[in-house]
Amino acid sequence: MVQIDRLTSAADSSILAELLRDAVNNGASIGFLSPLSSAEAQAYWHDVLPVLDSGNRILLGAFAEGSLAGSVQLDLATKPNATHRAEIMKLMVHTGARRKGVGRALMVAAEEAARDAGRTLIVLDTRQGDPSEKLYRSLGYREGGVIPQYARSSNGELHPTIFLYHLLVD
């Protein structure tokens, strides 16, 4: 059973940092290169957590058996012509919790949070061909386009990124 909670700027950055390190060091393409150090992961969360107080970023945590099993961020666009949309950022699931519905539960909760914030469009990007792409497509996300050689992996190889979108209204 997975419980999804909205986290605040008071969240434990060390637990979030370990989740980030686990994800990146096990192949997740979420903007960092492996090996990701504890200091780099802590610095990332040190920058992100205060942003949550603005109300323009939502951080959801998935908890299973009392431990953080995953997280996702929802960035609410603030430009006057963009207040109908949000962006999914850094969906990550701990390797010990993968293939157990954690990512799906986080995405469903993020969509609900977007609706609650009056958003009707969600966008995201992911390395093309990653397991996350399959998850997003199973949730109804559609391809908006592909950019070749967009993301670099730890071995220096360049990978295409696919941009996906999901309309929250019919």
DSSP per position, 80-141: TT-TTEEEEEEEEE-GGGTTTTHHHHHHHHHHHHHHHTT--EEEEEEETTSHHHHHHHHTT-
Residue-wise pLDDT for 85-110, tens only, equals 999 999 999 999 999 999 999 999 99
Query: What span, in angstroms and rounded, lies between the C-alpha atoms of 103 and 60?
Result: 11
Other C-beta atoms lying within 10 Å of the C-beta of residue 68: 20
In this predicted model, what pLDDT tens digit does every residue of 12-21 receive, in sequence order?
A: 999 999 999 9
Contacts of 120 by beta carbon, 8 Å cutoff, 6+ apart: 84, 85, 167, 168, 169
Q: Please, which residues bridge with residue 93 across strands?
A: 70
Instruction: Please say whether the beta carbons of 164 and 125 come within 8 A.
Output: yes
pTM exceeds 0.85, yes or no: yes
CB 105 within 8 Å of CB 69 = no
Residue 66, pLDDT above cutoff 80: yes
Given a contact cutoff of 8 angstroms between Cβ atoms, the answer to whether 93 and 70 are in contact is: yes
- Enumerate the domain spans of the chain: 3-119
What was the pLDDT predicted at 57?
Answer: 98
Amino acid at 68: L
- Confidence at 170, pLDDT banded by 50, 70, 90: low
Specify the CATH number of the domain 3-119.
3.40.630.30
